[in-house]
């Protein structure tokens, strides 16, 4: 298998040649990687090796040669006896890790199954184990495939093979297939045989080279092998001291041959890194555009939408170069793109930004979405230019009102129309919830400050939990803004406590309104605080459409999670009674609540 490393029965005189060969391969790989790093200074290629056996020798050889080449290697050590499902689960995790460019397996012989080998992504398969890489090798697509490093090391050891007969004994699976293909291309005649075969003695007698893929049974005598035959052992057992040929053991030679296979693996990893870099560079999309069949007269928008079968969003993502871990799929036709994409593509040149503004004189402004989508259709499908449309999720209010949907129109529209217009990925709902949470916090804060003393507020905001009172990180930020440089809640003076707990919001200056994503004209002006529990804190308020929330604008403009947090914290919601602005950050510091059982919560929430 690809995880095996070959050991050759060599005499000590062959050792310098072997060490030179290994050193030469490692040096060439180092130079190639150094050249790649000069062009990509932030490049740190990482090879992950999954192990389910205790083999410190091979692990040490991997580590040493990787350091010599300049690669980073991480060993994922699973317990011995791990099931195939556990191994596959770890493989799938590393497949989706964007920081890992190569994946290798070092497993017991019984764990190498088609299920395990084909779980490895072909583009990360540095051992050439997957059916995809083997298929490419058999077809002759040597540039597009990664070949088993063990098979490559076997060929490195064998010089002139033209006309020779090579017998593969006990070499099955990926290693056997790779060896057959590579040896035949070098002019050798190949045959394979199992140790228990009746034809074994005859085949061994006629073989010029014997490549052993598994341990030789004791009942196979050495006399069956003709004198002068070259024997290369790919069995892992030889490294464990299980020698079956009766020749003088030479650990230095064995380790040197193992190092040769590892050097080949690192060479594969460098090749893989080069391909990975090329895949990150700007290129024309390999996009298969959907065909339109315009009808006359033109059907309604909904009829056009339902007549077209949309492409699966994961297929589309692959066509335009998005990685699997960079999208979050919602059903079959929708997905969100993760911010990690910005980091991966930060070195790529910027494209052109085209703004489609108001183009029609009607009050409803029809036409912007239709022209935007039509432009992208023309640029992408007809001119073969990488382009995409950026449209805001439609608001349900206008959709159900006189305006209708905002997915474009005719044959220039977003499909599926219903999903785009009515829900998409739930961003408007999330904005509505966040907006109204802040609105509720404003009124709750006014109520609590108007009905409680400074001490009661302080005990509520900085409670004693398990006998200890402490500030939260966001409360430390509040203290710094107030100029209070203390860390112990028990050391604050009464004046400092008053400044700390009271925002003194002036209700008449509140600018933060509640929102709903529906045209409900009777919510345009409302009165809040009518319940007896609100103790007379009544004020006039209103509902806006959800997309009018400042949170929507921030979501559209932000470029990272940290940037979004900072922008959200700086939103001004009202003024205090001194005329100073009160921000969302001022309100959020009070959300420091202990995790108590429900019984304690009732006591806590209703204390004076």
pLDDT digits (tens, 9 = 90+) for 477-532: 888 888 999 989 989 999 999 999 999 999 999 999 999 988 788 898 999 988 88
Residue ranges of alpha helices (H) inside 423-471 are 427-451, 454-461
Most confident of 17-21, 125-129, 415-419: 125-129
Residues 31-67: tens digit of each pLDDT: 888 888 888 887 888 899 998 877 777 788 888 888 8
Q: What are phi and psi of 76, to 5 degrees?
A: -95, 105
Q: In 3D, which of 81, 32, 93, 75 has the Cα closest to residue 53?
A: 81
pLDDT at 362: 66
Bridge-based pairing of strands 408-409 and 412-413 is antiparallel
Strand (E) or helix (H) holding 337:
strand 334-337
- The pLDDT of 218-238, averaged and rounded, is 76
The pairs formed by 584-587 with CB atoms below 8 angstroms and a separation of 24 or more are: 584/438, 585/474, 585/477, 586/478, 586/503, 587/438, 587/441, 587/442, 587/445, 587/503
pLDDT at 99: 82
Cα separation, 119 vs 51, whole angstroms:
15
Q: Which residues contact 471 (CB under 8 A, 6 or more apart)?
A: 462, 479, 487, 489, 592
- The pLDDT of 335-355, averaged and rounded, is 85
Query: Does residue 535 carry a pLDDT above 50?
Result: yes
Query: Does residue 159 carry a pLDDT above 90?
Result: no
Least confident of 147-151, 343-347, 509-513: 343-347
Cα separation, 55 vs 68, whole angstroms:
21
pLDDT at 441: 92
pLDDT at 211: 87
pLDDT at 245: 42
pLDDT at 404: 64
Tell how far CA 283 is from the center of its chain: 21
pLDDT at 361: 65
User: Which DSSP symbol is given to 12?
Assistant: G
Least confident of 11-15, 414-418, 541-545: 11-15
Q: In 3D, which of 400, 390, 397, 389 has the Cα closest to residue 428?
A: 397
Q: What is the dihedral of CA 333, 334, 340, 346, to 10 degrees?
A: 80
State both tokens at 153. 């090391």
Strand (E) or helix (H) holding 341:
helix 340-344
Most confident of 297-301, 368-372, 384-388: 384-388
- In order of their start, the domains of the chain are 7-278 (3.40.50.10860), 301-422 (3.40.50.300), 427-605 (3.30.1510.10)
**Would you list the DSSP string of 192-246?**
EE-TT-TTHHHHHHH-SEEEE-SPPPTTS-GGGSPTT-EEEE--GGGGGT---S-
Query: Does residue 236 carry a pLDDT above 70?
Result: no
Query: Does residue 355 carry a pLDDT above 60?
Result: yes
Q: Within 13 Å and on the Cβ side, how many CA atoms surround 191? A: 17
In which residue are the tokens 């990690």 written? 340
pLDDT at 544: 92
Query: Does residue 129 carry a pLDDT above 70?
Result: yes
Q: Which residues contact 114 (CB under 8 A, 6 or more apart)?
A: 131
Length in residues, the chain: 608
Answer yes or no: are the C-beta atoms of 588 and 569 closer than 8 Å: yes
The mean pLDDT of the chain is 82
Most confident of 15-19, 265-269, 597-601: 265-269
- The pLDDT of 334-342, averaged and rounded, is 86
Residue ranges of alpha helices (H) inside 96-148 are 114-117, 131-139
Query: Does residue 391 carry a pLDDT above 60?
Result: yes
Cα separation, 425 vs 454, whole angstroms:
44
- The pLDDT of 182-198, averaged and rounded, is 88
Residue with the larger pLDDT of the pair 300 and 598: 300
Residues 551-577: tens digit of each pLDDT: 999 988 888 888 999 999 999 999 999
- Torsional sign, CA 451, 516, 523, 585: positive
Residues 413-467: tens digit of each pLDDT: 888 888 887 777 778 888 999 999 999 999 999 999 989 999 999 988 888 888 8
Percent of the chain with pLDDT strictly greater than 90? 17
According to DSSP, the residues that pair with 582 across neighbouring strands are 574
Q: Which residues contact 529 (CB under 8 A, 6 or more apart)?
A: 443, 536, 537, 538, 539
- The pLDDT of 572-601, averaged and rounded, is 71
Query: Does residue 101 carry a pLDDT above 50?
Result: yes
């Amino acid at each position: 298998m690809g995880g095996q490393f070959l050991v050759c029965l060599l005499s000590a005189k062959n050792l310098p040649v072997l060490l030179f060969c290994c050193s030469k391969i490692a040096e060439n790989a180092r130079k190639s990687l150094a050249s790649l790093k000069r062009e990509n200074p932030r490049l740190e290629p990482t090879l992950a090796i999954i192990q389910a056996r205790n083999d410190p020798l091979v692990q040490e050889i991997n580590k040493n040669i990787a350091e010599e080449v300049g690669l980073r290697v991480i060993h994922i050590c699973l317990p011995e006896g791990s099931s195939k499902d556990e191994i596959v689960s770890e493989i799938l995790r590393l497949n989706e890790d964007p920081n890992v460019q190569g994946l290798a397996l070092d497993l017991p012989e019984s764990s190498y199954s088609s299920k395990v080998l084909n779980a490895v992504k072909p583009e990360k398969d540095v051992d050439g184990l997957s059916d995809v890489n083997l298929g490419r090798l058999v077809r002759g697509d040597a540039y597009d495939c990664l070949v088993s490093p063990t098979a490559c090391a076997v060929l490195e050891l064998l010089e002139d093979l033209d006309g020779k007969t090579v017998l593969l004994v006990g070499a099955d699976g990926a290693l056997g297939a790779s060896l057959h293909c590579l040896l035949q291309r070098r002019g050798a005649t190949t045959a394979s045989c199992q140790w228990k075969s009746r034809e074994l003695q005859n085949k061994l007698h006629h073989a010029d080279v014997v490549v052993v893929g598994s341990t030789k049974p004791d009942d196979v005598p050495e006399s069956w092998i003709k004198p002068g035959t070259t024997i290369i052992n790919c069995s892992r057992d030889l490294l464990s001291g299980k020698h079956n040929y009766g020749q003088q053991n030479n650990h230095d030679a064995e380790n040197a041959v193992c190092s040769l296979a590892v050097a080949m693996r690192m060479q594969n990893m460098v090749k893989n890194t080069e391909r990975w870099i090329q895949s990150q560079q700007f290129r024309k999309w390999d996009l298969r555009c959907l065909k339109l069949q315009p009808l006359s007269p033109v059907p309604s928008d909904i009829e056009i939408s339902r007549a077209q079968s949309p492409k699966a969003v994961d297929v589309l993502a692959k066509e335009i170069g998005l990685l699997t871990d960079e999208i979050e799929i919602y059903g079959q036709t929708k997905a969100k793109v993760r911010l990690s994409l910005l980091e991966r593509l930060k070195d790529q040149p910027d494209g052109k930004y085209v703004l489609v503004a108001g183009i029609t004189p009607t009050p409803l402004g029809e036409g912007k979405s239709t022209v935007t989508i039509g432009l992208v259709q023309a640029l992408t499908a007809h001119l073969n230019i990488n382009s995409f449309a950026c449209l805001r999720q439609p608001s349900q209010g206008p959709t159900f009102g006189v305006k209708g949907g905002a997915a474009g129109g005719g044959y220039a529209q977003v499909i599926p129309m219903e999903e785009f217009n009515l829900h998409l990925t739930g961003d408007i709902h999330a904005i509505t919830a966040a907006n109204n949470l802040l609105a509720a916090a404003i009124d709750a804060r006014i109520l609590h400050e108007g009905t409680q003393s400074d001490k009661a507020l302080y005990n509520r905001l900085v409670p004693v939990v398990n006998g200890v009172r402490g500030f939260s990180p966001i409360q430390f930020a509040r203290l710094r803004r107030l100029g209070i440089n203390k860390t112990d809640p028990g050391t604050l003076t009464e004046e400092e406590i008053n400044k700390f707990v009271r925002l003194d919001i002036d209700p008449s200056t509140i600018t933060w309104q509640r929102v709903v994503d529906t045209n409900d004209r009777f919510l345009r002006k409302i009165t809040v605080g009518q319940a007896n529990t609100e103790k007379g804190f009544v004020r006039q308020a209103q509902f806006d459409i959800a997309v009018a929330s400042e949170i929507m604008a921030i979501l559209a403009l932000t470029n990272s999670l940290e940037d979004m947090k900072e922008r959200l914290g700086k939103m001004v919601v009202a003024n205090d009674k001194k005329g100073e602005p009160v921000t969302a950050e001022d309100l959020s510091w009070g959300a420091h609540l202990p995790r108590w059982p429900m019984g304690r919560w009732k006591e806590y929430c209703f204390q004076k």
